[in-house]
Chain A
Amino acid sequence: MGATVRDVLGRWAIVLVFALLYGVAVLLSDAFLEPVYVGNILRQAAPVGIAAIGTTLVMILGAVDLSIGAIISFSAVFCAVMMQGEAGNIGIAVAATLVVAAAFGAINGALNLASPGSSFILTLGSALALYGLTQLYSGGTARGIVSPGFREFFNHRLGDVLPVLALAMLAIAAVMEIVLRTTRFGRQIYLIGSNREAARLSGLPVAAVTFACYVVSGLFAGLGGIAVLARSGVSSTFVGRGFEFDALAAIVLGGTVFRGGRGTVVGTVAGTLVLFIAFNLVNILGFNYNLQLVLKGTIIIVASAGYAWLGRDR
């Protein structure tokens, strides 16, 4: 009996937390009832949310990708440089950025295959190397000019409320959730994450799936970088620094346990929203901006402990 209740709680915990937090937020400030403000929160959350969706796959697999902050930073700068301020370049700039970002994901994947089980430090190392590369590429300044119309398009509010960028995040999330739930690839990810050895012995293509997940994570980090460019332009070569913390917090909050085998994209997106509502709450109540860092860390720890407790005795 207890196990079933815990089961249900585990699955719906994030929704409960979201509802609870939103309720508290509304009580503390009626800004949260204004559609424009809520639309703003969604847009703020979009870069992290999109990147986190990709990384969710890696974490269901039982590994981590801590290099997404670096990939986001590089992608934002690279995309702006490719655009060169010409509207006609948008297509090729975005495409080139995604290819390069996916390539970094591939490098991460290859490294992980060469030395499985050390993904956290491998991706920390590749992140450092990529930060160096970004600086070399840009010469220190955020060179590059965003094409006209690009930012306007993504910041435009549909129905005066929902920014296109936010809609993009929701659409991407829906697609990836479907992929996870219905395709064989998705099922394989869950199986490998639950028990890597058993999966390998059953003949599942563990190496290929792992590699693919890292490529996806890199690709989505690239999307996240483009999203950052859309949302606030680029004025430095490390716009994405720290995003890996936000993403990890969102993913863990959304129910993807660190050990692997469980998790959903929907949970990650919900976790992202919870995170950004919390951040905005901190700001709007006039608290020190740095309390957000404390909040992030606490969420990571408490959410991990909570889900671990809910999932015990499985």
Chain B
Amino acid sequence: MAFDAVAAARSARNAGIYALLVAAVVLAALFVPSFATPTNVGNVVTQSAALGLVAIGQTFVIAAGMIDLSVGQLLGLSVVLTCALSEGRGELLVPVALAMVALGAVVGSVHSWLVNWLRIEPLILTFGSLSILQGVIFTMTDRSVGRAPEALRWIANERVLGFPVAGVLLVVFGVVAHALLRNTRFGLRLLATGDDGESARRAGVDVARVRWGAFVLSAIGATAGGLLVAGRLGTGYPNAGQGFELDAIVAAVLGGTSLAGGRASIVGTIGAVLLLGVIANVLNLLEVSAFVQTLAKGLIVVGAILLTRGAPVVAARAPGAVAAG
């Protein structure tokens, strides 16, 4: 009975974000000239795909009751490494892509180790690692380096039968992530840990391992997003990842994932990412100044939190505060 209610509430929230998305698209098609062309709509999807991957990863971490602020810079590192290592050579695409997955696994593991064994709060930890990663990138290079392989550029930019390939990739990732969250024991344990770490531990959940999985998924989301951005830019721009972490968190929260942990929706996250993409596109098409766009973005962030806040009493604990253990 209770389970049904939870699932029903989740479906309602998902429906909510998609209703917003549809409403935004319809309004834009009616009132914004140049919006409703196949080219432009495809552009929106292509422009949003990388953020989608990062946001999906972030959803797992937030669901576990933590946060990962380092994903933006990690994405930037991935962009630089992808281009620098492959130097445009197509045959290196697969090895480099695997290397990026490995990079995500390593970074995620380091994060989870520091959280589990040194008891550092994820917020502070990833705030610090963000700075470290940025320093690493800029020490490696202060200018664009390398070239992305043609195949990667094709994936990130082109369309097949009118559908952006990057969008297809996003959907595939989304389906896999959704299954991971809803249909596996890992997903169940993840949500239980996020909901109440102490109870989960007492129920026999290996909380440390769950955190490990969450951080690894978040980091891989970032490095995979980096592959797409590398394909989009074609070159390894060091500051490519700036701001992704904030956008990813906002997308997750707007999509129904609670910052307090325990409640998450991959489907909702993807819907929110697309909504953010539509908003950015519309603002550009309406020739709104970039200064106003920045202001608007900040207001959206604040608004998203205020509108979707969890139960105030429970949330008295700062999100990501690791309970004793």
Contacts and interface: CB of A to CB of B under 8 A. Distances in A.
Interface of A: 62-64, 111, 114-122, 124-133, 135-136, 140, 196-197, 245, 248, 252, 258-259, 288, 290-301, 304-305, 308-309, 312
A304 B120 contact: yes
A8 to B, nearest CB: 21
Contacts of B317: 117
Given A128-B298, A136-B292, A293-B138, A120 B305 contact: no
* Across the A-B interface, the 7 shortest Cβ-Cβ residue pairs: A129-B298, A132-B295, A125-B301, A293-B135, A297-B131, A128-B298, A132-B294
B306 A288 contact: no
Nearest to A245: B131
Nearest to B253: A121
Contacts of B298: 125-132
B290 to A, nearest CB: 8
B316 A197 contact: yes
Given A132-B293, A136-B292, A300-B124, 8 more contacts: A121-B250, A122-B301, A128-B246, A245-B131, A252-B124, A258-B318, A291-B135, A297-B130
Contact of B302 (A126, A135, A294, A295): A126
Report whether over half of chain B's contact residues are helix, strand or loop; otherwise say mixed.
Answer: helix
Report whether over half of chain A's contact residues are helix, strand or loop; otherwise say mixed.
Answer: helix
Nearest to A118: B305
B27 interface: no
Given A117-B317, A129-B298, A301-B114, A258 B306 contact: no
Given A63-B318, A118-B319, A121-B249, A293 B132 contact: yes
A117 B142 CA distance: 37
Interface of B: 67, 114, 118-121, 123-125, 127-136, 138-139, 142, 246, 249-250, 253, 259-260, 289-302, 305-306, 309, 312, 315-319, 321
Contacts of B321: 259
Given A132-B298, A136-B295, A292-B135, A117 B260 contact: yes
Nearest to A127: B298
Contact of B315 (A116, A125, A140): A116
B114 A132 contact: no
B295 A291 contact: no
B293 A301 contact: no
B306 A111 contact: yes
B259 A118 contact: yes
23 contacts: A114-B309, A117-B260, A117-B315, A117-B316, A118-B305, A121-B246, A121-B253, A122-B305, A125-B250, A127-B298, A128-B246, A131-B298, A132-B292, A132-B293, A132-B294, A132-B295, A132-B298, A258-B123, A294-B135, A294-B136, A296-B128, A301-B129, A309-B118
A122 B133 CA distance: 24
A40 B307 CA distance: 47
Contact of B118 (A293, A294, A308): A308
Given A132-B292, A301-B125, A115 B309 contact: yes
A131 B318 contact: no
A291 B136 CA distance: 7
Contacts of B139: 288, 290-291, 294
Contacts of B306: 111, 114-115
A300 B321 CA distance: 16
B319 A294 contact: no
Contacts of B249: 121
A258 B121 contact: yes
A261 to B, nearest CB: 12
A133 to B, nearest CB: 6
A301 B305 contact: no
B301 A293 contact: no
Contacts of B302: 111, 122, 125-126, 129
A296 B129 CA distance: 9
A132 B291 contact: yes
Contacts of B295: 128-129, 132-133, 136
